[in-house]
Amino acid sequence: MNNRKFVFLRSGLFFLFLFFPISVFSGSLVLEYKFTSDNGSIASDTSGNDLNGDIEGGGTWHFAAGVAGGGRGLKLNGIDNFILVSDNPIFDFNQYTVMAWIKLKPSAWDRQEVMEKAGSFWVNIRKNTRKVRVGGFFGGCRNGASYFILDSNKVVPDNTWTHVAATYDGAILRIYINGVLSGKSSVLVPGPVCVNTEPLAIGAKHRTIPPPEDAAFFNGGMDTVRIFDAALPGWRIKQEMLKN
């Protein structure tokens, strides 16, 4: 390789790393529920990781019109329906992105959970503010975990399909609503994300650690739920939002 080609190659690599952080390349899809071919009481994972979820609660038909061009989405009753995903080491990550399309309806709960792995991370909508709240337990997991939360700047309207996403890059929590940044933690959040054997719940709070609890059931529609093991940048959040 002559010097001119080497300089060009080195400059090209510098450009890539400057504008596209390493986490963009290393992050992979962990879980994906699109609900397009689901029936009965199973949510099928289309990420390739076989993380199928059981739809808990009453009712025999849990699907309705989704956000993507009249396709199918998940229907939750706000009383006892949610998706339960068994614990898996794949959820033990130091960075993450979680996202979903939601269509919120009024509820008696003080919050409605989009998803939560109790003792690790969560995303919910607060009843009193209508804002997205994200948070979890980070750092110091063996000697008293540190609890951090962040609320969005904007509210989530009722009966309107809205895309919500949260990222954690090992130091900063961020919230995106419809692909636009709507909150960023003002203090450093120490890693790592605390790990445990709790299952992942989508559409409710489900805790088995004493005292066990089922609460904050989501009332409304949900579609295209995704989890990544890296903090995606804003342009990727919007790109994922627009995918079917």
> What are the pLDDT digits (tens) for 90-121?
999 999 999 999 999 999 999 999 999 999 99
Q: Just give the CATH number of 21-242.
A: 2.60.120.200
- Calpha distance 1→5 (Å, rounded): 6
Rounded distance between C-alpha atoms, residue 141 and residue 96, angstroms: 17
Q: How much is the pTM?
A: 0.88
Decide which of 5 and 96 is more confident: 96
Give per-residue pLDDT as tens, 33-82.
Answer: 999 988 889 999 999 999 999 999 988 789 998 996 568 899 999 999 99
Q: Domain ranges for the chain, please list them.
A: 21-242
Q: Which two tokens stand for residue 55?
A: 């739809």
Q: By CB neighbour count within 10 A (0-12 exposed, 13-18 middle, 19+ buried), where does 166 fall?
A: buried
**Predicted local confidence at residue 13, as pLDDT:** 39
Please write the tens of the pLDDT for every residue from 196-224: 999 999 999 999 988 999 999 999 999 99
